[in-house]
Chains A and B, each alone.
Chain A
Amino acid sequence: MPLAPVDETVSIGDLVRDPYPIYRRMRAETPVVRVPSVKRTFLTKAAHTKMVKDDVVRFSSNDPTTPMEPAFRAHTLMRKDGEEHRRERMAMQKAFTPKVIKTNWAQLYRDITDRYLDRLPRGETVDLYSEICAPVSARILTHILGLEGASDEEMMRWSQQLIDGAGNFGWDPKLFEITDKANDEMDVHIAACAERLRAEPNDSALSLMVNAADPIPWSQIVANIKIAIGGGINEPRDAMATIVYGLLTNPDQLEEVRRQEAWGAAFEEGIRWVAPIQASSRLVMEDTEIGGIDIPKGDIVMSIQASANRDEELFEEGEDYHVFRDKNPHQAFGTGPHHCAGAHIARRTVGEIMMPELFERFPNMSLPDPEAIVWHGFGFRGPLSMPVTLN
């Protein structure tokens, strides 16, 4: 079989600005394609991205050239498979279950959301992205993880810096200098919180890990918390901003979502449409074949879930935001053993609490200039602001 065709025309800059027309073309013409600017083989079809992520024997998570390792100063669970991955993941998974959220946290999340909504002025245009989406996500995450004492600003900055480092596929050394400093700050704060939680345990992820009967190594506890900081603020922030945009630019859908209280469906469609995490790498462990293309051992394939989520084989009018789809088998949370550990939290905080509270508080909210919104990102993607007029 042939090797993957090579696409020399696509630059990282193109992908950061607007990858979707590129992915649409790739799905139609070269669904499995080598992209030299990213040094990876892109998989753009839903069947292929799912197959690769479900099969950790042929496609290892341990991408040896991931910028994640310098960015987090750790070999994190996201780059491990099998028992080691299971043990580290399960060490904090129970802090993220639907039952824990419902019984211990839901009211606190509502109160936090209300408090931040209370601060917004009526009759003015405000940037929801910086006033609500980011700080509410940060405040909620601080409680989930057990990092009380960290400010919104610190949590948001750490998250952004980790994400910028993890997505540093151009290996710019300056970005790693920034993550080094953020790691120093996080290490100090996590250690202080752990000491407090040993004395006063609660249901947070850090408490669960440090007080476990058979705890995982401290280095991995810290790495796990950092992964959750990286994945627990920017992603709900971007998801929320994207859904606000989708609903405000489709008022007929917003009306129907309100009528049916279909906030969960609005959430799922938002993350399908513009997945906050767009792509992930896997190392090929043996010579294999994907979609009639030979893939050699040692190659690094990139599962482009952003593209899978608009695959014409699964979605009609996939380029558009349509809440009321019959089925929505998106891969925004990934698939396989590395399926997002925070999926339950995201669905409940963003879908069941933040979105309905926002639209209930500001029923006539409007987006004055949708064209002015800038969308940004290749590995991680979302709008850079969401200025809305409140009334």
Chain B
Amino acid sequence: MVKVTYVAADGTRTDVDAEPGSNVMQTALDNDVDGIVGECGGAMMCATCHCYVDEDWTGATGARNDGEDDMLDCAADEVKPSSRLSCQIKLTEALDGLVVHLPEEQA
């Protein structure tokens, strides 16, 4: 299992055990984590799974995928260098312990 911590905009932390191979958006939905909507189901066609990767983890999660920048322009909340679409962060053992912060607004 891969441990992922979601930090809500109000600071609430939720720890979740994820299946390797899943992604950060789907894992949130599967575990009822509020603050990630994922309306397009991971097709990179909405920006309602926007998250900020914790600064300790930006190296491990890597660069944005093709098309992700364009879609992030459509995010409801501020886009920062650490912004990602969480559907595009695939969970591997290397991301065990990952921390992501959630924006105030998704839709």
Residues of A that sit less than 8 Å from B by CB: 50, 53-54, 56, 86, 89-90, 93-94, 96-99, 333, 335-339, 343-344, 347
Q: Are B74 and A94 in contact (CB under 8 A)?
A: yes
Q: CA–CA, A97 to B46, complex, Å?
A: 10
Q: Given A93-B74, A344-B76: A333 and B39 within 8 A (CB)?
A: yes
Is B67 a contact of A50 with CB atoms below 8 Å?
A: no
The minimal Cβ–Cβ distance linking A349 to chain B, given in whole angstroms, is 14
Task: List A contacts of B73 (CB < 8 A).
Answer: 94, 97, 99
Known A-B contacts A86-B67, A339-B46; the reply to A98 vs B74 at CB < 8 A is yes
CB proximity of A336 to chain B, nearest CB, Å: 5
Measured between beta carbons, the chain B residues less than 8 angstroms from A336 are 40-41, 43, 45
B20 on the A face (CB < 8 A): no
> What 7 A-B pairs have minimum CB-CB distances, sorted nearest first?
A54-B41, A337-B43, A98-B76, A339-B40, A97-B74, A337-B45, A336-B41
A344 touches B41 (CB 8 A): no
Report Cα–Cα, A203/B43, bound state, in Å. Answer: 26
Binary A-proximity of B23-65 (CB < 8 A = 1, otherwise 0): 0000000000000000111110110000000000000000000
Q: B75: CB under 8 A from chain A?
A: yes
CB-nearest residue of chain A to B78: A99
**Chain B residue, CB-CB nearest to A54:** B41
Known: A90-B70, A98-B105, A339-B43. 6 other contacts (CB 8 A): A54-B43, A94-B73, A97-B74, A337-B40, A339-B39, A339-B46
Chain B residues in contact with chain A, CB under 8 A? 39-43, 45-46, 67, 70, 73-76, 105, 107
The listed residue (A54, A89, A99) touching B42 by CB distance below 8 A is: A54
Q: Are B74's CB and A343's CB within 8 A? A: no
From DSSP, what is the main secondary structure of chain B's interface residues? loop
Contact B107 A347, beta carbon cutoff 8 Å: yes
Contact B46 A343 (CB under 8 A): yes
**Closest chain A CB from B42 CB (angstroms):** 7
Among B42, B45, B73, B105, the most chain A Cβ lie within 10 Å of the Cβ of B45
A-B contact pairs, 14 of them (CB 8 A): A53-B41, A54-B42, A54-B43, A86-B67, A93-B74, A94-B74, A97-B74, A98-B75, A98-B76, A98-B105, A335-B40, A337-B40, A339-B45, A339-B46
Complex Cα spacing A99 to B42, Å: 22
B107 partner residues in chain A, CB cutoff 8 A: 343-344, 347
Residues of A within 8 A of B43 (CB): 54, 56, 336-337, 339
Q: How far is the CA of A343 from the CA of B37 in the complex (A)?
A: 13
Provide the bound-state CA to CA distance between A98 and B73, in Å: 9
Q: Which residues of B contact A56 (CB under 8 A)?
A: 43
* Pair A50/B74 contact, Cβ less than 8 Å: no
For residue B39, which residues in chain A have a CB less than 8 angstroms away from its CB?
A: 333, 335, 339, 343
CA distance A99 to B73 in the complex (A): 8
Give the CA-CA distance A56 to B44 in the complex, in Å: 13
Residue of B nearest to A335 (CB): B41
Output the residue of A53, A86, A89 with the most chain B CB within 10 A. A86
Q: Which residues of A contact B42 (CB under 8 A)?
A: 54
Task: Name the residue on B nearest A98 (C-beta).
Answer: B76
Query: Known contacts A344-B74, A344-B76; is A50 also within 8 Å of B41 by CB?
Result: yes
Cα A339 to Cα B46 in complex, Å, equals 8
Neighbouring B residues of A89 by C-beta, 8 Å: 45
A343 to B47, CA, bound (A): 11
Residues of A within 8 A of B76 (CB): 98, 344
Per the bound structure, the CA–CA distance linking A336 and B39 in Å amounts to 7
